[in-house]
Structure 1
Amino acid sequence: MKKIIFLALGFPNIAKYTNLYTDIIQEFHNKGHEVLVVAPSSDNNQVGLHEEGNIKVIRVATMPLFEVGIIKKGIANLLLSYQYKKALKKHRIVIDFDIVLMPTPPITLTQTANWIKKKSGAKLYLILRDIFPQNAVDLKMLNGNGLIYAFFRKKEMKLYKISDSIGCMSPANIAYIKKHNPKLDSTKLHLLPNWENLPSENDEINSDELANRYGIKDKFVVIFGGNIGKPQKMENIIALAKDCLELPEIVFFIIGTGTEKQMLVELVKQENLSNVILEDKIPKNDYNSLLRYADVGLISLSEAFTIPNFPSKVLSYFGNKKPVLASVDLNTDFGVILEQTNSGLWAEAGKTQELKDKLLQLYQNPELRSQLGENGYHYMKANLQPENAYHIIVQNTE
């Protein structure tokens, strides 16, 4: 068995919440490996070495990393490497790890990852889930010809160089990294699809009660759950909702928070959209119950992207047997994967009529919805479980 350290940016208390990374760390633990997680603390009272669930976690005091301006966020990310290294020394952690697991974002933990790698002879496995700084350029948050971009691009290239293996979300991700990093040893790159545990079939289903609580009872529910930021370009979904006012049975149920949430609230109010319901975060069990009640799972990506993204929220839709409706840019291969797995319909982001036509196909055909939902579920069960990801990571760090 191996000793694993995971350098995380977003890692909730595993005893209370789950996400992509808690699932894979739990899988390593279940397979008998010794795991240590280093992650930010969202509360000063949490700082220190704790056991959360059955996982050892060092919570580190940092500047605010989420839902802040790009300058504050940039400074906070730059300080992470120093803060993590300091925390490891403070808690007298023996640096004798076999594998360093590190996701993107961020790309600024390179120094600490390299220090651990050199000190212990560990393999550095990069879980590539965010291609930064190019994504910030696409969204006009950074100038692609500026000094800040050049600084972070240099860090990105250094991270790829010191990584022993790089797991990419989709074939388009691999192709993009190869094309834009021609000096990189391309044998490091391989496919590491997203993963998530299937919802427990024993979960109590209180969908009717929740539907009454949130005002979606007896409606055709198009649900969106997750981050609400510039990458999601929710204005495209609002345009769709506005075009669907003539169909009062259809409601758009949007759950989540993020930097663009207030903009979204104001836009819904400005357009007087009675068919849009907005909520902040809700408990995972309630969310799964609402997904079971809903009719369609919604994906939205900005048409400005030149990098291929693969939205992880689709896993919750697959797991709850929901057909997917996606508004996506043409640089992602997500739409292609929906077609290959026959699990949903998609339209080019920004083309409202095309997206509405796809929605109406789902609205008018319950048999199609059922078949697409079943296809997504079986694809996820066979290919997108934490155990699949675990085996890929282990095989590429031997």
Structure 2
Amino acid sequence: MSIMKKRIVLVNQSSGFLVVDDLNAYCTKYDCVSILCAGIKEGVRSINPKVQIDKICKYNKASTLRRLLTWSLGTIQVLFKLLFKYRNFEVVYYTNPPMACFSALLLRNKFRIVEYDIYPNALEAIGISDRHIIYRIWKSIKKKLYAKADAIYTLSEGMKEILLEYGEAEKIKVVPLWSASDDFKPICKEQNPFVKEHHLENKFVVMYSGNIGYTHSVECLIEVAKNMQTDNDVKFLMIGEGKKKTDLVAQAEELNLRNITFLPLQDFNVLPYSLASADLGIITLDENVSRVSVPSKTFNLMAVGVPLLAISNNDTEMFRLISKYQNGRCISKSNVDDIVAYIRELKSDKMLKQKYCNNSLLASKDFTFKNSELYL
């Protein structure tokens, strides 16, 4: 008598290094592992050759309309592929496309959901309130999904608290994110080629590295840089791209700020060096998002042993993380003077800076790719 093979398929329209680690973990327990996605961006860890990649349409975030169109098309493709090609597979739905998991109510597959973004709650960011008919229908569907699902996974305790309105606590499990690469580690400035290339020797580097978009509250850094023009040994680096960048560059030029440099998004193989050049790593998110989310860049910064400055309020997941590990501060974007004071304190107090560096490194041990095994 033949033994039934264990089969699983992941659904994630936009897949990066985190999903690669998830797939590799599933390969240790399942005979057949597939993923429905537009493509996979591999990091340092390569995807197991056992994984079968089945393409769906690419997620396009250029506008709200294009997001909706590509989400909708992706959801339809997922439904038909699961129905005709993966009927005997377990399914793991990620929240991209956010409606893809609706398929589970029409199919007999066992399934789990990984909540990277919380819908319908996230709809409030585009003006759809909890009284809107779309929001209420989505909420009703989600409660049915949670009742039927084998498990729900999310990224933080704050996100879990929100998800309790949809299902039982016993079914909702927290799996924290992790660093993108094992190559993220401290590098002394004397041996860091990024430091030499950008003339950062003898500078206290305050770095923001990531998206410079509408959901990222980075404008206050211009004001901070303006207030620190007399601190000749402080250098602000803003690395990345996004819709706010042009305006920020224009503001810096208008104010003739010589202590701030804008750089393009760095190649993945440069990131370990660029992040390690920082003396202080900036993390910022929109207020609505930061209450429950920790940006993935946080774990990369901790892995290189950098003190943190989270530009957020105290009722946020970042505040909980920094309070737990004692590796930085959380300061509201409106408190520019406090941000300036913190930078100056960290620059002058070597013992405090070293404490935060050490604590970031210790914290990073809790956020490695081994966390992907918690999905098994």
Question: TM-score per shorter chain, which class?
Answer: 0.7 to 0.9
Shift in Å, 1:320: 0.8
Secondary structure of the structure 2 residue equivalent to 1:38: strand
Q: Give a deviation string over 1:351-379, Cα, whole Å, max 9, x none.
A: 21222222222222233222222222222
Tell me: CA distance 1:172–1:244, structure 2 relative to 1, closer, same or farther (3 Å): same
Q: Does 1:102 align with 2:93?
A: yes
Report the secondary structure of 2:23's partner residue.
Answer: helix
Q: Please show how residues 96-175 of structure 1 align to structure 2 within 5 Å.
A: 96-98=88-90, 100-114=91-105, 118=108, 120=109, 122=110, 124-137=111-124, 139=125, 141-144=126-129, 145-147=131-133, 149-150=135-136, 153=139, 156-157=142-143, 159-175=145-161
Instruction: Give the deviation of 1:288 after TM superposition.
Output: 0.6
Corresponding letter in the other structure for 2:73: L
The amino acid across from 1:59 in the alignment is K
Q: Is residue 198 of structure 2 the alignment partner of residue 209 of structure 1?
A: no
Contact 1:166 / 1:188 at 8 angstroms: preserved in 2? yes
Alignment of 1:26 with 2:24, yes or no, is yes
User: What is the CA distance between 1:314 and its match in structure 2?
Assistant: 0.6
Distance 2:123 2:340 in 1: 29
Post-superposition Cα deviations, 1:180-204, rounded to whole Å, max 9, x if no partner, equal: x2x5233222222112355238999
Deviation at 1:86, TM superposition (A): 4.2
Which of 171, 177, 182 is equivalent to 1:194?
177
User: In structure 2, which of residues 52, 56, 60 is the aligned counterpart of residue 60 of structure 1?
Assistant: 56
Kept in 2, the 8 Å contact 1:223–1:253? The answer is: yes
Distance in 1, matches of 2:186 and 2:28, equals: 22
CA separation of 1:83/1:259 partners in 2, compared to 1, >3 Å: closer, same or farther?
farther
CA drift at 1:254: 2.1
Matches within 5 A, 1:1-398: 2-12=6-16, 19-29=17-27, 34-41=32-39, 54=49, 55-62=51-58, 64-66=59-61, 68-86=62-80, 93-98=85-90, 100-114=91-105, 118=108, 120=109, 122=110, 124-137=111-124, 139=125, 141-144=126-129, 145-147=131-133, 149-150=135-136, 153=139, 156-157=142-143, 159-178=145-164, 181=165, 184-196=167-179, 199-200=182-183, 208-305=192-289, 307-381=291-365, 383-390=366-373, 392-394=374-376
Q: Which runs of 5+ in 2 are unaligned?
A: none
Decide whether the 8 Å contact of 1:207 with 1:292 is kept in 2: no
Change (3 A) 1:42 1:147: farther
Distance (whole Å) between structure 2 residues aligned to residue 151 and residue 272 of structure 1: 52
Identity %: 19
Q: Secondary structure at the match of 1:284?
A: coil
Following TM superposition, by how much is the alpha carbon of 1:32 offset from its aligned partner in structure 2, in angstroms?
6.2
**Residue 315 (structure 1) shift:** 0.5
TM-score by length of 1: 0.79
Matches of 1:69 and 1:152, distance apart in 2: 22
Deviations 1:76-110 (A, max 9, x none): 21221112344567xx7443223x22223442112
2:364 and 2:31 mapped to 1: Cα distance?
25
Q: 1:97 to 1:88 in 2, by over 3 A?
A: closer
- Contact map agreement 2:185 2:304 (CA 8 A) in 1: no
Amino acid at match of 2:194: L
| Residue type of the alignment partner of 1:125 | R
User: What RMSD, in angstroms, separates the aligned Cα atoms of the two structures?
Assistant: 3.2
- Deviation sequence 1:236-284 (CA, Å, 0-9, x none): 3333222222213222222223343334334433443322222232222
**Partner residue, 1:46:** none
Distance 1:226 1:370 in 2: 24
Q: Deviation per CA, 1:41-69, whole angstroms, max 9, x where unpaired?
A: 599xxxxxxx966232222234x522x12
Whether the 8 Å CA contact 2:194–2:277 is kept in 1: the answer is: no
